Amino acid sequence: MNRRHFLQSSTAALAAGFTATSRGYFANETINVGLIGFGGRCRAIIRPLASIPGTRITAVADVWEQNRQAGKKIADANATIHNDYRELLDRKDIDAVMIASPDHWHVQMTCDACAAGKDVYVEKPLTHDLSEGAKVIAAQNDNRRIVQVGTQQRSMPHIQKAYELVKAGHIGKIHKVHLSWNRQAERGKKGPLGIDPASVDWNRFCGNAPEQPFDEYRFRNWRWFWDFGGGIFTDLMVHWIDVVHWFLDLDHPDTAVALGDWYQKKDMWETPDTVQTLLNYPQQQVQAHFEGTFYNARTASMVEFMGTEATLYIDRGGYQVIPQRKSTVQASEMILGTGARGLDFYDKPDGEMVHVANWVECMRSRKTPTAPAEAGVSAASAAHMANTAMRTGETARWKSA
């Protein structure tokens, strides 16, 4: 199935609708969506939402006045704006929320939304530490909510095709996986950003983080500070380790070793700008190695599954199978469709479009979405163990992580 046919069939399914259940929606019902956190990630994930029939943005919550006003411009004419996301959840006419807050708020907001009877699309990483996993899974299941975690690579057609190749045995027994997410970034400055502290509810932004004075750099770069984010492992590695766990039926590593240092962002970030980790899954006989940096973009973003029959290379533009010996599999079985770069690639992959569409589809059908809370907790667990190992300088073990 090529990308065009995949998107057409997804759109047709949404337009046709599904049989309503006691907790679902009729095809002609409009699903009212509230936005919690209107930063860069939210603005990315609402673009596909706007093209899906039967959805409407009816409320926006953010701790920064600038974001609230920006959100109001794209929302429904009668939408309400809020500083406190709990006011948004109190609205009985809101059916679902999209959460794109800093990481340390994800679980609390997701649990509160589920308890309020809202379905949830929440950005990755789902958790901010290992202790939060059971709580958010229980909130999803006990309240019978549809929770989709924003690991959109699960919805990319070529990655779904690659999954089929692994499950069909074409790659053989996989023991080693190599993941990377490398970027080239300027050294940058920590100079003034011109944010009026009075326009930010800093205490609400910090939430359960330790009390601290307002810092505009931390406010705008929270991913690289431990109180609010988890650095490269939770922001970037989590995407590919999610694919690894999905393909190989893994839940969490038994052990992790890691190291990290600052070569580009020293005195700017708390989290290192260059990291590596080795994750061990001994019961499944799998080792996974990840490397990430912000000073060199070599190998960029990719994963390689090294099997006894072949190596499977995947990035966000396509995949490639490199046989270890002459393949006995017909080439047609390993091809997704045609594209500008050859048979193993397809044009302009838009995983977010399909991922958000899958969420809306599942809100109507009440079927399990592509990336439920269990998947989000699993992927984040590897990132948290890597961070534990890096910060302590010791091997992180699952039972004591």
Give the model confidence (pLDDT) of 199-258 as tens digits.
999 999 999 999 999 999 999 999 999 999 999 999 999 999 999 999 999 999 999 999
- Residue 7 is predicted with a pLDDT of 39
User: Residues 112-116: what's their mean pLDDT?
Assistant: 99
In angstroms, rounded to a whole number, what is the distance separating the alpha carbons of residues 127 and 229?
10
Which DSSP letter does residue 365 get? H
**Which comes out higher in pLDDT, residue 104 or 24?**
104
In angstroms, rounded to a whole number, what is the distance separating the alpha carbons of residues 62 and 198?
14
- CATH numeric code, 8-151: 3.40.50.720
Find, among 175, 71, 38, 120, the residue nearest to 359 by Cα.
120
- Residue 16 is predicted with a pLDDT of 41
- Residue 176 is predicted with a pLDDT of 99
**Which CATH number applies to 154-191+223-349+372-400: 3.40.50.620, 3.20.20.150, 3.20.20.70, 3.30.360.10?**
3.30.360.10
User: Residues 247-271: what's their mean pLDDT?
Assistant: 96
- Residue 351 is predicted with a pLDDT of 87
pLDDT digits (tens, 9 = 90+) for 242-252: 999 999 999 99
- Residue 44 is predicted with a pLDDT of 93
**Which comes out higher in pLDDT, residue 324 or 238?**
238
Asked if pLDDT for residue 10 goes beyond 60, the answer is: no
36 near 100, Cβ under 8 Å? yes
Asked if pLDDT for residue 349 goes beyond 90, the answer is: no
Q: Cβ contacts of residue 8 below 8 Å, gap of 6+?
A: none
- Residue 12 is predicted with a pLDDT of 43
Q: How confident is the model at residue 189 (pLDDT cuts 50, 70, 90)?
A: confident
User: Residues 362-366: what's their mean pLDDT?
Assistant: 96
Beta strands (DSSP E) in 119-166 are: 119-122, 147-149
Asked if pLDDT for residue 77 goes beyond 80, the answer is: yes
Asked if pLDDT for residue 337 goes beyond 80, the answer is: no
Asked if pLDDT for residue 370 goes beyond 70, the answer is: yes
Asked if pLDDT for residue 259 goes beyond 50, the answer is: yes
- CA 119, distance to chain mean position in Å, is 17
**What are the residue ranges of CATH 3.30.360.10 in the chain?**
154-191+223-349+372-400
Separation in Å, CA 155 to CA 76, 132, 162, 368: 28, 25, 12, 14
Which DSSP letter does residue 329 get? S
Question: In a 3-state reduction of DSSP, which class is residue 349?
Answer: coil
Question: In a 3-state reduction of DSSP, which class is residue 175?
Answer: strand
Question: In a 3-state reduction of DSSP, which class is residue 32?
Answer: strand
Beta strands (DSSP E) in 104-185 are: 119-122, 147-149, 174-182
Length of the chain (residues): 401
106 near 125, Cβ under 8 Å? yes
Q: Does the predicted TM-score (pTM) go above 0.85?
A: yes
User: Residues 138-163: what's their mean pLDDT?
Assistant: 97
Q: Strands 55-61 and 80-82, how do they pair?
A: parallel
Q: How confident is the model at residue 324 (pLDDT cuts 50, 70, 90)?
A: confident
In angstroms, rounded to a whole number, what is the distance separating the alpha carbons of residues 274 and 380?
19
Mean pLDDT of the chain, nearest integer: 90
Which DSSP letter does residue 162 get? H
The answer to which of 4-13, 29-38, 174-183, 195-204 has the lowest mean pLDDT is: 4-13
